[in-house]
Amino acid sequence: MLLVAATACGSGSAPASSPSPTGSQSNDIALLAGASERTRAITSAVSMVSTLTNDGQDYVLTLQGSFDFAADTGSLVITFPGGAISRTEELITESSLYFRLPADPSQPEQLIWVRIPRAEAKVRYLLRPPGNDPEYVLAQLPKARSVRLVGSEQVGGVALTRYQGFLDLQTVTADFDPSRRELVAQLQNAWPDQGAPIDVWLDGPGTVRRVVQTLNLGGVTTRLQLDLTPPGDTVQAHPQEPATSVEGKLQGILMG
């Protein structure tokens, strides 16, 4: 069902409330760029929730685990209630993505590790990072525009500072799968003038703790929320048994 959000077109979403800036926009953009770089040097617990809302129905995909941003490796558990595969595990290394999947759809309890080259992971669904890579979300922060300070908020008992900005079409679709060219063409006619809203929460040291991206196209709302809670667990990013290589053959909602 996430494909619905990727193909819908229509009027863009209205911008969120307009916060009052307390400094120059260029300073706020530089601040997000610095926060992105700082966060990409830590290990953190990760929660990433992708929600599609269509006709009052929510379709929710959740990823939880730990990610070592400095080593570019992660370990995630993915759940999608109601999906053909409702749960899987994913390991991310610098060069490969590993998924724990049924060897035979008729025997879902018999699981194997399958491997695809990380370079093959592309964006197929709006506001979904390729291969479920949380670092991809952080890498978008320096590209936000019209960034403004919203204010201070308590999130999970932690005092955070919230910033708001917008992502342009080129940033959101930069790594779309080539097979989605038609979708990108549709988005050009439907894209909100200000762009796709993005909100970022930083802690006292200037580390990213939460990112929320939202987009409403044709009455279908897509939302991605990334929460980071450092320090994370040590990441074991290689399977403990041989993996089956499936280059160019593995696609689906769970894979990003």
pLDDT at 25: 67
- Whole-angstrom CA distances from 221 to 32, 55, 60, 79, 218 are 25, 10, 12, 20, 8
Q: In this predicted model, what pLDDT tens digit does every residue of 196-222 receive, in sequence order?
A: 999 999 999 999 999 999 999 888 999
pLDDT at 33 over 60: yes
In this structure, is residue 11 part of a structural domain?
no
**Per-residue tokens: 172:** 């959101």
In this structure, is residue 4 part of a structural domain?
no
- Whole-angstrom CA distances from 33 to 74, 128, 140, 158, 193 are 22, 21, 9, 22, 23
Instruction: List the domain range (segments joined by +) for residue 25.
Output: 19-255
**Mean pLDDT for the stretch of residues 223-229:** 97
Average pLDDT, the chain: 85
Segments of the chain assigned E as strands: 43-54, 57-68, 73-79, 87-92, 96-102, 111-117, 145-155, 158-167, 196-202, 208-217, 220-229, 243-245
Quick one: residue 96, left, alpha or beta (phi over 0 = left, psi -120 to 50 = alpha)? Answer: beta
In this structure, is residue 86 part of a structural domain?
yes
pLDDT at 29: 86
- Rg of the chain over CA atoms, in angstroms? 18
pLDDT at 218: 84
Write down the pTM of the prediction: 0.86
In this structure, is residue 3 part of a structural domain?
no
pLDDT at 247: 59
pLDDT at 6: 41
How many structural domains are present in the chain? Answer: 1
- Most confident stretch, 62-71, 120-129, 179-188, 229-238: 62-71
pLDDT at 4: 37
Q: Which of 229, 35, 253, 5 minimizes the C-alpha distance to 140?
A: 35
Residue labelled with tokens 């952080």:
138
pLDDT at 14 over 50: no
**Mean pLDDT for the stretch of residues 33-50:** 96
pLDDT at 245: 77
CATH number of 216's domain: 2.50.20.20
In this structure, is residue 5 part of a structural domain?
no
pLDDT at 227 over 80: yes
Contacts of 63 (CB under 8 A, 6+ apart): 46, 47, 48, 49, 76, 77, 78, 90, 132
In this structure, is residue 14 part of a structural domain?
no
What burial class does residue 224 get, using C-beta atoms within 10 Å of its C-beta: 0-12 exposed, 13-18 middle, 19+ buried? buried
User: Residue 31: how many CB atoms within 10 A of its CB?
Assistant: 19
Q: In this predicted model, what pLDDT tens digit does every residue of 156-178 receive, in sequence order?
A: 899 999 999 999 999 999 898 88
pLDDT at 104: 75
**Mean pLDDT for the stretch of residues 86-113:** 87
pLDDT at 153 over 50: yes
User: For strand 111-117 and strand 243-245, is the pairing parallel, antiparallel, or unpaired?
Assistant: parallel
pLDDT at 8 over 90: no
In this structure, is residue 224 part of a structural domain?
yes
pLDDT at 134 over 80: yes
pLDDT at 129 over 70: yes
Q: In this predicted model, what pLDDT tens digit does every residue of 136-151 receive, in sequence order?
A: 999 999 999 999 999 9
In this structure, is residue 91 part of a structural domain?
yes
